[in-house]
């Protein structure tokens, strides 16, 4: 019982430790009946790939999956975007898990050739919380279709 309470307080402690200076917007989901950690990270990589983000890489040491940049170049200056997805496993105990997701966003400020990635000038924008929510929901759907996991 004491362990379960400590596990539930973990996300609160992590969010408090991130307050200083990091402008990341994380979306969090708690899971009951989570599969083993390695399988869960594999499902996260699969969810990122199926959501259209290129080349998700699993980093088991950091309990994270990170994609390459997904490009959406547009012909008008300032309208092109790129997105990078990241899912982290921040808590895992027994069959309970806590996942958090973020989607970093940058815009292309190149005015001369906005459709050429090699010439793009990327400027950081606020994270896209809606895309992060969709990504985690996609992951939950994958687990439910395999008969594992779920939402607590």
Mean pLDDT by 10 residues, the chain (152 residues): 43 40 84 88 92 95 96 92 96 88 96 92 96 89 63 42
Output 37-42 pairs: Cβ under 8 A, ≥24 positions apart.
37/63, 37/89, 37/92, 37/97, 40/89, 40/92, 40/97, 40/99, 40/149, 41/65, 41/89
pTM tops 0.75, yes or no: yes
């Amino acid at each position: 019982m004491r362990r379960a309470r400590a596990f539930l307080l973990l996300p609160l402690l992590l969010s408090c430790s991130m307050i200083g200076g990091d402008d990341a917007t994380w979306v969090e989901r708690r899971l009951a009946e989570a599969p083993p950690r390695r399988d869960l990270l594999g499902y996260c990589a699969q969810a990122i790939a199926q959501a259209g983000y290129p080349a998700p890489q699993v980093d088991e040491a950091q309990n994270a999956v990170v994609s390459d940049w997904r490009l959406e170049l547009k012909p008008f200056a300032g309208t092109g975007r790129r997105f990078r997805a990241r899912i982290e496993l921040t808590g895992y105990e027994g069959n309970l898990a806590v996942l958090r997701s973020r989607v970093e966003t940058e815009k292309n400020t190149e005015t001369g050739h906005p459709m050429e990635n090699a010439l793009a000038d990327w400027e950081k924008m606020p994270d896209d919380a809606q895309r992060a929510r969709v990504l985690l929901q996609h992951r939950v759907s994958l687990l439910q279709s395999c008969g594992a996991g779920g939402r607590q």
